[in-house]
Amino acid sequence: MTPFFMQIKCQLGRSYQVANAIADAEIASEIYSTAGDFDLLVKFYVPEGTDIGHFVNEKVQCVPGIQDTRTIITFKAF
């Protein structure tokens, strides 16, 4: 499995709805609320060879209430 993270900025007042929608879709490993420029930090695992760009576009960015995202590709866990 390939891990990656996403920072998600939500529309005002929609952080809990977005987090719940992602959790209900069962596509994320972990979901955290954060302070700062982004509202959520989400960890995903996808099967090896999965096009992460397509996954983000088709599974995450279509969730109502998401305003912006930043995808963080990881290389190695220590």
pLDDT along the chain (78 residues), means of 10: 97 98 98 98 97 97 98 92
pLDDT for res 43: 98
Q: What pLDDT is stored for residue 77 in this prediction?
A: 87
What pTM does this model have? Answer: 0.94
d(CA 27, CA 11): 21
Q: How far apart are the first and last CA of the chain?
A: 16
Contact 28, 44 (CB under 8 A): yes
Domains of the chain listed by start with CATH number: 2-73 (3.30.70.920)
Residue 17 has a pLDDT of 98
